[in-house]
Amino acid sequence: MPRLNSHPSGRHFLQIPGPTNVPDRILRAIDHPTIDHRGPEFQALAKKVLAELRPIFQTRGPVVIYPASGTGAWEAALVNTLSPGDTVLMCETGHFALLWKKMAEKLGLNPIFLGGFDDGSWRRGADSGAIEARLAQDTPRTIKAVCVVHNETSTGATSDIAAVRRALDRTHHPALLLVDTISSLGSIDYRHDEWGVDVTVAGSQKGLMLPPGLSFNAVSDKARTAAKNSKLPKSFWSWDEMLEANSKGFFPYTPSTNLLYGLAEAIDMLQEEGLAHVFARHARHAEATRRAVTAWGLEILCEVATERSNALTAVMMPKDNTGKAYDADRLRGIIHANFNMSLGQGLSKLSGWVFRIGHLGDFNDLTLAGTLAGVEMGLSLAGVPHRAGGVQAAISYLRDTIPTHTNELGKRKAA
Ligand code: PLP
């Protein structure tokens, strides 16, 4: 007797904006016996990943690796640099900025929160002009850190970190700059040193193409100096013991050995492709996705064209004639049931009327074509008003913009 529905054939399309699809190369790298994390073989692995991670963050300084999800690295950034009652300037770009601000409150910090859902700031990146104005008012220099989410995964809006740096410089403000790159690192150009960032927060499960479970702090000299005077309690997250052990190729507690095998492989893959090509690939896929959404006649949540994310696109559901938005979760459910594809749900205030298409990580033209085909068929099955032709708009763009290096790579493989 055939067993129906016991196993969907073909691969699941994991098109949420992280965790992303893990390439076979990385899965194979992880699939090895765990080694002694105090032995020489581990030491060589740790030294390699600790050194080779730096160019991914575009920094010459140290990068701390935690066996934790991104939330842990958020906490590490705050507790290592700040003291109870410190004022921090944060920007409400969306759900993740809001969570980081709530964490700051729970830790006993005093966040000033710029922007808000009702003034439309969930539809754009952080306002560097508003940051500059607030810093200029702060003559007693009570603000100790400015915290910005580079790529707001809930909305698909990016913030201009170089502009935030200029806001700090123009006001000669000494506050630290802390940036969340959890859904941008390894997908969207990000420059820790050049942009004068003090702590960069990142995670393993998005542009780095790994499973969840590792997170990172890239740390500037200024942040390390701040850490010496910081009084928030910390133990597991403490940089000093970590950096001391890392300098010898070890960790102060048991590291995620197998994920570090995967990380070494992910770094190799990013280096082989070249970061510039990785960023260009994401930009091209994002543009193709936006063309599909526009052709469907649907609206992209991020309303500032230059701030639209190259890692994901958040799409607003159209409204029916009573003014109610068609149900985004029903659409996602239909797509999941019929085409074995997961799309990102709308988070908190975006719940039910926004869905998100992840186009980051291990991703190529045909993965995108399949993803968009699933969305277009789903829109039709769910009875959501739209125009046909989104997939066609995207594939025409992809066909017309094949990068020369992809051609060359293909020819070399065929030879
Ligand atoms: N910040 C951003 C921008 C994120 O996208 C996420 C998760 O998706 C987080 C923080 C929280 O990270 P985690 O869920 O890995 O703890």
Q: Can you give 332-351 as a three-state secondary structure string?
A: HHHHHHHHCEEEEECCHHHC
Tens of pLDDT along 203-221? 999 999 999 999 999 999 9
Ligand 1 geometric centre to CA of 383 (Å) = 32
Strand partners, 358: 312
What lies within 8 Å, CB to CB, of 47 at 6+ separation is 249
Q: Grade residue 405 by pLDDT with cuts at 50, 70 and 90.
A: confident
Q: What is the pLDDT of residue 337?
A: 97
Ligand 1 geometric centre to CA of 93 (Å) = 14
Ligand 1 atom, smallest distance to 150 CA: 3
Query: What domains, with CATH codes, occur in the chain?
Result: 13-18+274-414 (3.90.1150.10), 24-272 (3.40.640.10)
* pLDDT above 60: residue 2: no
Q: Which of 95, 96, 205 to mutate to test the pocket of ligand 1 (most atoms within 8 A of CB)?
A: 96
CA dist., res. 143 & res. 125, Å (int): 21
Q: Please tell me if the CB atom of residue 70 comes closer than 6 angstroms to any atom of ligand 1.
A: yes
Tens of pLDDT along 285-297? 999 999 999 999 9
Strands 215-219 and 199-203: antiparallel
Average pLDDT of the residues of the chain: 96
Q: Grade residue 87 by pLDDT with cuts at 50, 70 and 90.
A: very high
CB 88 within 8 A of CB 82: yes
Ligand 1 atom, smallest distance to 99 CA: 10
Q: Please tell me if the CB atom of residue 75 comes closer than 6 angstroms to any atom of ligand 1.
A: no
Ligand 1 atom, smallest distance to 74 CA: 10
CA dist., res. 55 & res. 27, Å (int): 23
Average pLDDT over residues 330-350: 98
Tens of pLDDT along 354-395? 999 999 999 999 999 999 999 999 999 999 999 999 999 999
Q: Please tell me if the CB atom of residue 203 comes closer than 6 angstroms to any atom of ligand 1.
A: yes
Query: How far does the chain reach from its first CA to its final CA, in angstroms?
Result: 46
Ligand 1 geometric centre to CA of 18 (Å) = 9
DSSP string, 80-149: HH--TT-EEEEE--SHHHHHHHHHHHHTT-EEEEE--GGGTGGGS---HHHHHHHHHH-TT--EEEEEEE
Q: Grade residue 404 by pLDDT with cuts at 50, 70 and 90.
A: confident
Q: Grade residue 3 by pLDDT with cuts at 50, 70 and 90.
A: low
Q: Looking at per-residue confidence, does 409 or 278 come out higher?
A: 278
Average pLDDT over residues 36-50: 98
Ligand 1 geometric centre to CA of 36 (Å) = 30
Q: Please tell me if the CB atom of residue 154 comes closer than 6 angstroms to any atom of ligand 1.
A: no
Ligand 1 geometric centre to CA of 334 (Å) = 26
Q: Which of 78, 182, 208, 214 to mutate to test the pocket of ligand 1 (most atoms within 8 A of CB)?
A: 182
Tens of pLDDT along 94-110? 999 999 999 999 999 99
Q: Please tell me if the CB atom of residue 153 comes closer than 6 angstroms to any atom of ligand 1.
A: yes
Ligand 1 geometric centre to CA of 398 (Å) = 30
Question: Considering only CA atoms, which residue is closest to atom 9 of ligand 1?
Answer: 70
Q: Please tell me if the CB atom of residue 182 comes closer than 6 angstroms to any atom of ligand 1.
A: yes
CB 384 within 8 A of CB 318: yes
Q: Which residue has the tokens 């095998």?
A: 261
What lies within 8 Å, CB to CB, of 102 at 6+ separation is none
Ligand 1 geometric centre to CA of 409 (Å) = 34
* pLDDT above 70: residue 411: no
Average pLDDT over residues 31-51: 98
List Cα–Cα distances, 25 to 209, 274, 281, 359, 407, in angstroms: 10, 17, 19, 19, 22
Ligand 1 geometric centre to CA of 345 (Å) = 14
List Cα–Cα distances, 71 to 144, 182, 202, 316, 351, in angstroms: 21, 9, 9, 27, 21
Task: Report phi then psi at 385, rounded to 5.
Answer: -60, 125
Q: Looking at per-residue confidence, does 332 or 404 come out higher?
A: 332
Of 305, 316, 306, 304, residue with least CA distance to 384: 316
Ligand 1 geometric centre to CA of 95 (Å) = 10
CA dist., res. 309 & res. 301, Å (int): 11
Ligand 1 geometric centre to CA of 99 (Å) = 9
Q: Please tell me if the CB atom of residue 69 comes closer than 6 angstroms to any atom of ligand 1.
A: yes
